[in-house]
Copies of this chain bind each other. A is one copy, B any other.
Amino acid sequence: MSSTRPTSQAVRIADVARAAGVSVGTVSKALNGTGSLREETRRHVQETARRLGFVADARARGLVSGRTYTVGFVTTDSFGRFLLPILRGAEDALAVGQMAVILADTRDDPAREQHLLRSLRARHVDGLLVTGRSTDPREPLTVDMPVVHAFSPSTDPAGYAVLSDEEEAAVLAVRHLLSLGRERILHLTGPARHRSAQLRARAVERAAGERLTGAVQHGEWSEEWGRRAIDLALASGTAFNAVCAGSDQIARGAVDRLRELDHDVPGEVAVTGIDDWDVIALAARPQLTSVDLCLGEIGRRAGQMLLDLIEGREVAEPRVVVAPRLQVRGSTV
C-alpha cells in the first residue's frame, strides 16, 4: 500500500551507518550539518537515513547536547478561553525553533504546581512560558531556566514578560466614543477586586474626564450584569448616550437590554466592548465595536522572546507591551 514501510520499529543511527557504509559519528555529522564531510558523503548518508525512515532519538540527543527542544506552558488558571489564542500564538513562534510544548495546568493549586514544575525540571525543558487567567501579578517561579510571562505579569519587575495594555484598551474605546461626539459615557465593568477592572476603570476616568457620567459600575463579567446595569442606570435617571463596557459580554447585555427598551443602538446610545470575542461580538445586534487585546500576538511575541533567551540571543526589551486594536462595528456606527 504505502511505499514507506509500516513504521519501522526502531531504526537507530547505527543501522543507518551500516547501510551507508560509514561510522555512526559520520552519520551524526552528515544529518546535523556539522563536522567536515564530503558533500557526496553527506548526501549519501542523508538519502540512506531517509530511505530507512530514521528519526534521531530526542532522549539521547538531549542527554548529550543539553537542549531538549521542549518548553513548558504553565498556566495558573485552568485553560480558559483567553489562553487558547495565547497558546496558539506561542506555538507558532516556537515551531520555528522546532520546540514542542508540554502543558502544565496548575489549576491554582500550589501542590499541583510544585508537582508539575518538578516534572518539567525532570524533563529538562529548555524554558517556561507562564500565563494565567487574570492579569493579576503572580509570584515569580524559582527555576534555573529562562522564563517568560505572557499576559499575566510577574511581581518581579525585572522578569521577562509580554503583556497587554489594559489601560490603552480602555482609552481606545473612550476616544472612539468621544470622536463620535458622545459626551455622556457610562462605564460598566467587572468586579472591583479584579485588577483588569480597576485599571480599565481608571483609564476610562482619565480619558473621559467630565464626559464620564456617574460612577463606574462594578458587577460581574456577564451579559446578565450588562442588562441589569442598564436597568439601574435608566431607573436612576442618569442620562447617557454611550456605554463603555469592560467586556464584550457586558456590552452585549447592555445592547440587548437597550434594544429591548426601544433605545436605538447606536443612534441613541453607542456601545463598546473589550476582548473582541467573536462568539459574543458578532452575534450581537448590532455587532459590537470592541477592542481586541491581540492575545495571539502576545503569545507569539512571548514565544519568540523565550526562543531568543533559550538560544542565547540578545533580547532588546525584557518587557513588551502589545498594543490593543479597536475593531469598529455596528454598535457605534
- Using a CB–CB distance below 8 Å, which chain A residues touch chain B? 1-2, 4, 6-7, 9, 55-60, 62-63, 68, 70, 73, 78-81, 84, 87-88, 91, 98, 100-105, 118-124, 140, 142-144, 156, 222-224, 249, 252-253, 256, 260, 279-280, 283
Contacts and interface: CB of A to CB of B under 8 A. Distances in A.
A56 B123 CA distance: 9
B102 A59 contact: no
B279 A122 contact: no
Nearest to A6: B142
Contacts of A280: 279
A100 B123 contact: yes
A58 B122 contact: yes
A124 B59 contact: yes
Contacts of A283: 222-224, 249, 252-253
A265 B252 CA distance: 21
Nearest to A123: B58
A245 to B, nearest CB: 14
A306 to B, nearest CB: 15
B63 A60 contact: yes
A326 B151 CA distance: 37
Contacts of A1: 140, 142, 156
